[in-house]
Amino acid sequence: MIDRITDIWGSRTPYAAGADWPARADQYLADGVAEADVAWVQSACVLCSMDCGMDVAVKDGRIVGVRGRTADRVNHGRLGPKGLFGWQANASPDRLTQPLVRRNGKLEPATWDEAMDLVVERSRQVIGEHGPLGMGFYTSGQLFLEDYYTIGLVVRGGIGTPHLDGNTRLCTATAAFALKETFGSDGAPGSLTDFDSCDTLFMVGHNPAETHTVLWARLLDRLAGPDRPRLIVVDPRRTKVAQAADVHLPVRNGTNLALLNGILHELIAGDHVDKSFVEAHTVGFDKLAQTVAGYDADRVAEICGVPAADIRAAAEIIGSARRLVSTCLQGVYQSHQATATACQINNVNLLRGMIGKPGCTVFQLNGQPTAQNTRETGADGDMVGFRNWQNPAHVADLARVWKLDPLQIPSWGPPTHAMQIFRYAQEGAIRFLWITGTNPAVSLPELARIRSILSQERLFVVVSDAFLTETGRLADVVLPAAMWAEKTGTFTNHDRTVHLSERAIEPPGQARSDMDVFLDYARRLGLSNADGEPLVPWQSPEECFTAFTVVTRGRPCDYSGLSYDKLRGGSGIQWPCNADAPDGTERLYTDHVFDTDPDECEDYGHDLSTGAAFERKDFVALGAAGRAVLKAAHYKPAHEPPDDDYPLLFTTGRTAYHWHTRTKTAHAPQLQNAAPEAWVELSPADADRLGVAEGDVVRVESRRGRLEAKARLSGVREGVVFAPFHFGYWDRDGDGPDGTPTAANELTMTVWDPVSKQPQFKGAAVRVERIADGGGVPAPAPTTTASEPAAGGLPPTAGGTGVRETVEQR
Ligand code: SF4
């Protein structure tokens, strides 16, 4: 038995390039539970975008453990700490079990009828007085495909408002836009199996050791194997991934684009371009070459604060790669030139001609487990099935499937992004806001502003959630939601693998699935299609999934060959899955024909610097027509550079042990004990200057708010201050900092990337002061992750014993 809090990634099973990643079954059962006494129910983990295949152990109607599915292509049986222990949240006594309605300023228990009558009455009132544009909906990256597709149809087709977005805007909006800008459509080009055969890894702003722990286990096994791939890491923190790198570039926050332009410059100058590939399969090379010409390594070194020799060394490794996998995540996406940077990572692989072949791809990764589905179902700013909202034929086709007049589907302008939805609510244009499965009172930037928006008298706020979050505490109506394992549905990970998750137990009390709640809402509102039939024609998750297979037929994310039955029993399956590819599709663009046909593409693209949307004629003029687009942009300094008053740069992120605002993971004792409180990371040099010792309490202050927590002296870059964004106020029974502010987003800014509209969480100017002596007691930060003390010397974070690992001999 192994402590998987201490040993996050488990034991090594090394393998060589091109070999199968060995299977290892990870299993955890609650104390005293015998394996013979449990029934196993098929599912997958929803605590990051890997979506690892797992079975849920059920005994006497309760979940008592989990095991990884060795047959699953994603994880080959492995589970990380969140997957192994996170299920305990389902049985938490803190679960919401009945609706709450605000009466005389207080949330009080109500029946479903009372709550839904009120929701419907206020919806009718707002629609009557303000039209559909008075209605806003903000959803999640953690519901199921069936929930999203139902919400998307009800909101876009029934209510007719464009004000629907997901919190995926905070995590994967840039991934979607970067894919659309370069390849014409969303959808990961590659496959997790590309990690098995690559010889070079280029990881930008991506710390899989904590954000995708099972992916890091796979890479550790490659790194321990006989032909170790070379690894380049760009990250201002000395993460476990950075520690394993051949070249670590700890760039100054906000300078990613300069670095990528510098790498592209070196590739071109060093003659590392696959000219015949670029000529045959891309457009835009001349403009790209012209743009990056001014980014020689010496200039870039000055901008990014890393040695020029290291930039050249990184470019040399990439330039000599034969099979290159590049990845990026929030270090790129949550910055001010997010899409421009992410597109340059696509460009690196395109210049090398390394896409659509084994071991050659770029991963614009996701953060949340079902983020891909918000994009596919149109529950964020996209249209269903990767249709193009600017293409009238696509809108008409969707209207045909939905049996609606095309004019009923809002497509006269871009779907409203989350940051704009909150701005409209602030200004009074949106008067009704329904928030499902997310906690903006902790996760959005500039929290004082968000709390004031959600607290307005004139705004009617509905929150559907499994727990009473900080956001729920500000709502007018709170609806108890069924969680993972309490409802059946599907979800899709960041390499297009679709999993089925079966209902294993009953939801507690009166909790219902979000799909059921929106079906009820549509019924009560009397929403119908053009034939006078109920707008939403399905009743069960399986019927909804079948309808989704129909609406995606012929689109890039083609689900038409999938069914619940097909997803039962074995591994998840990658879309497109259809008559031509009945077993799914491992890799896109193997013929190097990209989705840039103007009639088919999902988006006509944008100016990467200004965000201005191109029209069809602009896109046609590019002449891509099946070729990938090499888009270029110049680096610009970030919005809020450090100055004398606020001399440090603040950045936020995650730890391996928690998920988002801890509404789930804090209810798993092993995870909560591993990271029980907020902390702040400083470099030893900054700490020394500020007179701060390990464990002292510091105040971090920006122009918008402050955060107080114990200091950890870690390997973060000098001049940069890091804090995890998980810690809000709900476990102090509050909706805001009534006392000590612990939410990192008190400090962040209301600014976003011009193309993807993803907020910038990684770069606000702050100052730090020591406000109390820690008495020599270390900060409550993990010692087994990037948060480990730079000086070492602290015992490993522990507490996850009882996990069994069984390596399968094949
Ligand atoms: S890597 Fe992600 S999906 Fe897999 S077990 Fe861990 S949290 Fe769950």
Domain boundaries defined on the chain: 115-172+370-488+504-540, 178-365
Residue 712 pLDDT more than 90? yes
Tokens coding 622: 């590019």
Q: pLDDT for 585-618, tens place per residue? A: 999 999 999 999 999 999 999 999 999 999 999 9
Give the pLDDT of residue 258.
98
Distance separating alpha carbons of residues 261 and 292, to the nearest angstrom: 5
Candidates 87, 47, 55; CA nearest to 71 is: 55
Q: How confident is the model at residue 810 (pLDDT cuts 50, 70, 90)?
A: low
The letter for the amino acid at 440 is P
pLDDT digits (tens, 9 = 90+) for 155-183: 999 999 999 999 999 989 999 999 999 99
Residues 6+ apart with CB under 8 A from 762: 253, 254, 330, 331, 334, 335, 651, 652, 653
Mean pLDDT in residue range 434-445: 97
DSSP 678-709: -EEEE-HHHHHHHT--TT-EEEEE-SS-EEEE
Report how far residue 189's alpha carbon sits from residue 576's, in angstroms, rounded to the nearest whole number: 11
Ranges of H-type helices in 602-721: 616-622, 669-674, 684-690
Q: Which of 9, 43, 50 to mutate to test the pocket of ligand 1 (most atoms within 8 A of CB)?
A: 50
Residue range 389-399, pLDDT digits in tens:
999 999 999 99
Instruction: Note the pLDDT tens digit of each residue in 554-592.
Output: 999 999 999 999 999 999 999 999 999 999 999 999 999
Tens of pLDDT along 196-240?
A: 999 999 999 999 999 999 999 999 999 999 999 999 999 999 999
List the one residue out of 141, 150, 151, 154 whose CA is nearest residue 543: 150
In this prediction, residue 536 carries a pLDDT of 98
686 and 649 in contact (C-beta within 8 Å)?
no
The CATH classification number of 178-365 equals 3.40.228.10
Looking at residue 413, what is its pLDDT? Answer: 85
* Ligand 1 atom showing the smallest separation from residue 83 Cα: 5
Average pLDDT, the chain: 97
Structure tokens at 758: 């993803």
For residue 427, the SS3 value is helix
Is the per-residue pLDDT at 4 higher than 60? yes
Report pLDDT for 558.
Answer: 98
pLDDT value, residue 38? 98
Continuous H helices in 244-284: 256-269, 275-281
For residue 220, give every residue at least 6 positions away whose Cβ sits within 8 Å of its Cβ, in sequence order, or none. Answer: 9, 12, 244
**Pocket probe mutation, ligand 1, options 48, 657, 726, max atoms within 8 Å of Cβ:** 48
pLDDT of residue 114: 98
Give the pLDDT of residue 604.
Answer: 97
Whether 525 and 123 have beta carbons less than 8 Å apart is answered as yes
For the stretch 456-485, pLDDT in tens is: 999 999 999 999 999 999 999 999 999 999
Q: In 3D, which of 246, 257, 239 has the Cα closest to residue 223?
A: 246
Residue to mutate (ligand 1; options 66, 67, 79; most atoms within 8 A of CB)? 79
**Ligand 1 first shell, C-beta below 6 A:** 45, 47-48, 50-52, 75, 79-80, 82-83, 212-214
Q: How far apart are alpha carbons 69 and 40 in whole angstroms?
A: 11
The pLDDT, as a whole number, for residue 809 is 64
Do the Cβ atoms of 243 and 268 come closer than 8 Å?
no
* Section 109-126 average pLDDT: 98
Q: Where are the beta strands (DSSP E) in 153-229?
A: 164-166, 200-204
Q: How much distance in Å is there from the Cα of 682 to the middle of ligand 1?
A: 28
Q: Say if CB 16 and CB 227 are below 8 A apart.
A: yes
Please give the pLDDT value at position 733. 78
* pLDDT, average across residues 494-516: 98
* Residue 665 pLDDT greater than 90, yes or no: yes
**752 CA → ligand 1 middle, Å:** 28
Atom of ligand 1 nearest to the CA of 78: 5
Q: Is the pLDDT of residue 686 over 80?
A: yes
Ligand 1 atom nearest residue 68's Cα? 5
Fold of 115-172+370-488+504-540: Rossmann fold (3.40.50)
Binning pLDDT at 50, 70 and 90, where does residue 777 land?
Answer: very high
Q: What are the residues facing 136 on neighbouring strands?
A: 433
Q: What is the pLDDT of residues 518-554, one digit of tens each?
A: 999 999 999 999 999 999 999 999 999 999 999 999 9
Position 758 scores a pLDDT of 96
What pLDDT is attached to residue 1?
81
Distance of CA 310 to the CA centre of its chain: 30
Q: What b/e readout covers 417-454, taking b as 16+ CB neighbours within 10 angstroms?
A: bbbbbbbbbbeeebbbbbbbbbbbbbbbbbbebbbebb
Q: What is the pTM of this model?
A: 0.97
pLDDT in tens, 41-79: 999 999 999 999 999 999 999 999 999 999 999 999 999
Order of strands, edge to edge, in the sheet holding 361-364? 247-249, 230-234, 200-204, 324-328, 361-364
Task: Give the integer Cα–Cα distance in Å for 223 and 198.
Answer: 11
Residue 291 in this model has a pLDDT that exceeds 80:
yes
Report the alpha-carbon angle 654-337-725, nearest 5: 20
Distance 44 CA to ligand 1 centre (A): 9
CA of 536 to the centre of ligand 1 (A): 33
pLDDT of 433 higher than 70: yes
How many residues does this entry show for the chain? 810
**Pairing of β 648-653 and β 762-772:** antiparallel
Distance (Å, whole) CA 149 – CA 153: 6
Only one residue has tokens 């084994």, namely: 358
- pLDDT for res 737: 83
For helices 173-183 and 338-351, angle between their N-to-C axes, nearest 10 degrees = 40
Q: For position 735, what pLDDT does the model report?
A: 75
